[in-house]
Chains A and B, each alone.
Chain A
Amino acid sequence: MTIRTARQDRVQHFRPRTHCLKKLEAMVVEMQDSKSGVKGSEQKLNVTTIPHVISGKDVIAWITNKMKNTTEDAQAFGTMLVAYGYIYPLQNHRKLVMCNDDSLYRFQTPYFWPTQKWFAEDIDYAIYLAKRNIRKKGMLEPYEQAHYNHLHEWLNHKWDFIVMQATEQYKAGKERKKPDRVVFDCQERAYWIVNRPPRRTHSALDVGPERLIDPNIDEKISFDQYRRMNMFYQQAIMRSKVKSSVSLGALVKYITTYKNHDPFLAPCLPSNPWQTDNDSYWTLNMRRVDVPTKMRVERWSFSLFELLSDLRGRDDFKIFLKKEFSGENLAFWEAAEELKLGTASSMSTKAETIFKTFLAPGAPRWINIDGRTMGLTVKGLDHPHRYVLEAAQTHVFLLMKKDTFFRYLKSPVYKDIQKKAQSPEAHNFSPAQLEQNAQSRSPGIHPMILWQQEEEEKAKAAAASAPVDVKAMMSKIDRKK
């Protein structure tokens, strides 16, 4: 029994992405018309004949005629009808596509249509699996068996009911005539393939979050709303905008640079972990890996922002800067980032250390920024807030970008790492191996371990980069003497 009074029914039941369903239903009903609808024929199984079978090409021809579009569009529309579950295929019931040939389909009964309000509940699925278990005498498909075991575990308190209901429904189903029984089995099976798809199949039922307002009702827009809309649009026209040639040019440049790095457009080497359940892509691209991948190194050359955002790239850049003895710019930039993103309580102490280390005249790591910015920053540091170093940080960033970055790209450090970078082979898993991968997924590294590593590295870096206390060094040397 689900608790109904605990959560109040605020009628948050409407799933807006599925509000096309009303129009689809109207179209499916039109297809039933005996004169102008899709022509059905009969299907002959061993001894029974079942009427109302339609062929794919008839459906697509009807859609082309009705919606006045091309065959490809009609085929896509037909596939969507199959994917949503209004029509189901009879041969090859797992593949929910509409083929433009003689393959046979049938309409689904209105009870099993996708609706905006009713979910395909787990308890119904459990009853269906139990019925299927009876029919198939225990030989369920592997994904069905996995679902069955899982449901048995968490719906255990209702399991008696599920078994009882399943056997009753099974017996009641036997009261119908043979062709109806066959049709009913096919209908139910099709419904559950749409609502509980097997592994690695695409599901069209991406419903999104539930909303309070019914998108199907017509909203009356009042006079005041129209007045405000007019004001908004008038102001929008007056605003100055970037020319589309400029913005489109920027977009084209972005696409040409990044198109090989997008996991949707280009294959992800070695394999996309979300698709093949093999996480070598993530382990190869971890934060502190010795040998980064070629794609990653290439990405560092796109802009200084990319180089600094990737922490492994930042490490590399630091090594280069150490060799050039000009690490203070990057150190200041990092310190300013920490101030921006850190806790409010540590802000004043951080601001003081930054001032002492980087900005005070005669500081150990004095950065070379212009006088005006320096003046503004020092004045702001009297009352430090999160963004007090913003101007100085931008200036330093621009310095690095215009000068150090290009030197880095031409440096032996970068060329060395380019040569060392590895390019992993693409995986080529067979379906059996994919199944194996899916079952042996590991939970990965615990975030606490990663955090501890980070802390250790930070402590080491802090110790290493502490300003050298000249007096202590001198006294050590003196003592040695």
Chain B
Amino acid sequence: MGKEECKTMLDALNKVTACYRHLVIALGSTSDSQNLREELKRTRKKAQELAVANRTKLTSLLKDKSISKEDRAEYERLWVLFSSSMELLEVDMKRSLEIGQDFPLKVPTRHLIQTGMTGSTTAVASRAMSVQNMKYEADSNIDTADLRDLQTEITQVSHMMEEMEMKVQVAPWAVEAKQEAGAELKSNMSVGNSSVGVISICEEEPKDEEAGGGRDTGFASICAVFVFLVIVGVAVVLGYLVINMS
């Protein structure tokens, strides 16, 4: 059905936007490298493909005049999700252009900011591309060529967004959110599906104690204690009966 397709595609776009942001944050720091620039390029391409696909699908759904009111409200909500994703993507792309120009890689002495991040971002990129391993095949002038491509892509995206705004009449402020405040705590991750909650760790905050992970281990420990008590109770009862009988 159209709605389910839309939702999965929006999920994918959302994932790619989040990963792109992670990659752009690493730009200009010590975890910057040739690989990172290539990952950015690939993620961008994927994002654009998804964007175009999403747009055609949603515009066709919204243009259909014969849909019910609830359906229309739902499609409008999906449209707002789509356009917010695109806005974030556009801003990130513009910023990556600026930072990429300020911190070129092909100069004799690289002046990358020592932020403390040294690991690679391969895993994030492969998550965005939904592949197991990333293969790098870029040539050495990725800096300049990539930045030129990026500029054209940015103009394309801005153009697309202006078109979207002119052609589709959706009032974004009229959309009501389905999630209430604190919905992220219940870990309902995606638009349609739900998935398992995650556990957080951060050691640098003095107040944040690492002991005890998340709710799942809490439940497990309570269950274990309960089972233990039951076994002890049963053992006591059996012992009492044995003593009584003998």
**Which residues of chain A are near B117, meaning CB under 8 Å?**
109, 179-180, 183-184
**Contacts A51-B118, A185-B204: A1 and B184 contacting too (C-beta < 8 A)?**
no
Residue A312 is within 8 A (CB to CB) of chain B in the complex: no
Contacts of B33 in A (CB 8 A): none
Total chain B interface residues with beta-carbon distance under 8 A: 76
Q: Is A32 touching B204 in the complex (CB atoms < 8 A)? A: no
Q: Once the chains bind, are A53 and B189 in contact (CB under 8 Å)? A: no
Most buried by B among A4, A106, A164: A164
Q: Are A163 and B184 in contact, CB atoms less than 8 angstroms apart?
A: yes
Q: Output the residue of B18, B115, B179, B214 with the most chain A CB within 10 A.
A: B115
Cβ-based interface call for B133 (8 A): no
Chain A residue nearest in CB terms to B17: A165
A1 close to B113 (CB less than 8 A): no
- With an 8 A cutoff between CB atoms, is A29 at the interface? yes
A29–B28 alpha-carbon span in the complex (Å): 10
Q: For window 144-201 of chain B, which residues contact chain A by CB distance below 8 Å?
A: 161-162, 165-166, 170, 172-179, 181-185, 187-191, 198, 200-201
Chain B residues with CB under 8 A of A149: 181
Interface residue A48 (Cβ < 8 Å from any Cβ of B)? yes
Partner of B119, one of A164, A171, A176: A176
When A168-B14, A186-B204 are in contact, do A134 and B91 touch as well, CB less than 8 Å?
no
Asked if A182 is an interface residue, CB under 8 A from chain B, the answer is yes
User: At the interface, yes or no: A220 with Cβ under 8 Å from chain B?
Assistant: no
Distance A51 CA – B91 CA, assembled complex (angstroms): 30
Instruction: Pick the interface stretch among A110-118, A336-344, A349-357.
Output: A110-118
List the A residue with the shortest CB-CB distance to B111.
A29
Taken residue by residue from 29 to 64, chain A's Cβ proximity to chain B (1 for < 8 Å, 0 otherwise) reads as 110110000001000011010111100000000000
Nearest CB of chain B from residue A304's CB, rounded to whole Å: 57
A172 within 8 A of B: yes
Q: Residue among B99, B114, B121 with the most chain A CB within 10 A? A: B114
Number of A interface residues in the complex (CB < 8 A): 72
State whether A110 touches B28 (Cβ < 8 A). Answer: yes
Provide the residues of chain B in CB contact with A33, threshold 8 Å.
109, 111
Are A4 and B182 in touch, CB under 8 angstroms? no
Q: Which residues of A contact B61 (CB under 8 A)?
A: none
Shortest Cβ distance from A118 into B: residue: B95
Q: How far is the CA of A169 from the CA of B19 in the complex (A)?
A: 7
The interface residues of chain A lying within 8 Å CB-to-CB of B50 are none
Q: Is the CB of B176 within 8 A of A156?
A: yes
How near does chain A come to B191, taking the closest CB pair, in angstroms? Answer: 7
The yes or no answer to B129 lying at the interface (CB within 8 A) is no
Q: Is A90 an interface residue (CB 8 A)?
A: yes
**Do A172 and B19 touch across chains, with their CB atoms under 8 A apart?**
yes
* A residues in contact with B127, CB < 8 Å: 171-172, 175
Instruction: Give the chain B neighbours of A28 by CB distance below 8 A.
Output: 113
For A366, the chain B residues whose CB sits under 8 A away are none
CA A297 – CA B201 in complex, angstroms? Answer: 61
Q: Say yes or no: A112 contacts B25, CB within 8 Å.
A: yes
- Which of the segments A135-143, A210-218, A382-390, A423-431 contacts the partner chain? A135-143
Name A177's closest neighbour in chain B (CB-CB). Answer: B119
Complex contacts, B102 vs chain A, CB 8 Å? 25, 110
Q: Which of B91, B113, B183, B203 contacts A163 (CB 8 A)?
A: B183
Give chain A residues whose Cβ lies under 8 Å from the Cβ of B98.
Answer: 115
**B27 CB-CB contact with A under 8 Å:** yes
Chain A residues, CB < 8 A from B26: 109
Closest to A148 in B: B181
Residue of B nearest to A91 (CB): B206
- Chain A's closest residue to B174 (CB) is A157
Q: Which of B31, B201, B203 contacts A180 (CB 8 A)?
A: B31
Contact A110 B99 (CB under 8 A): yes
Whether B111 contacts A51 by the Cβ 8 Å rule is: no
Scan A175-209; emit 1 where CB is below 8 A from any B CB, else 0: 11101111111110000000000000000000000
Partner of B185, one of A29, A30, A137: A137
**How does the 8 Å CB contact mask read for B99-137 relative to A, with 1 for contact and 0 for none?**
100110000010111111111010110011000000000
A281 within 8 A of B: no
Binds A, one of B34-42, B79-87, B237-245: B79-87
* Chain A proximity of B26: nearest CB distance (Å): 7
With A32-B111, A130-B184 known to touch, is A157 a contact of B203 (CB < 8 Å)? no
Q: Is the CB of A157 within 8 A of B173?
A: yes
Instruction: For B214, give the chain A residue with the smallest CB separation.
Output: A137
| A133 lies within 8 A of chain B by Cβ | yes
Q: Do A160 and B115 touch (CB < 8 A)?
A: no
Asked whether A182 lies within 8 Å of B202 as measured between CB atoms, the reply is yes
Q: Which residue of A lies closest to B114 (CB)?
A: A52
In the complex, what distance in Å separates the CA atom of A182 from the CA atom of B187?
22
Does B235 touch A at the CB level, under 8 Å?
no
B residues less than 8 Å from A165 (CB atoms): 14, 17-18, 84-85, 88
Complex interface: chain B residues within 8 A of A167 (CB)? 184, 187, 189-190
Identify 6 new A-B residue pairs, CB closer than 8 A, beyond the known A112-B25, A164-B190: A1-B165, A135-B200, A152-B181, A160-B177, A161-B84, A172-B22
Task: Point out residues on B near A: beta carbons under 8 Å.
Answer: 11, 14-15, 17-19, 21-22, 24-31, 77, 80-81, 83-85, 87-88, 91, 95, 98-99, 102-103, 109, 111-119, 121, 123-124, 127-128, 161-162, 165-166, 170, 172-179, 181-185, 187-191, 198, 200-204, 208, 214
List the 8 shortest-distance A-B pairs measured between CB atoms, nearest first. Answer: A110-B28, A1-B83, A159-B177, A168-B18, A175-B123, A52-B114, A135-B200, A177-B119
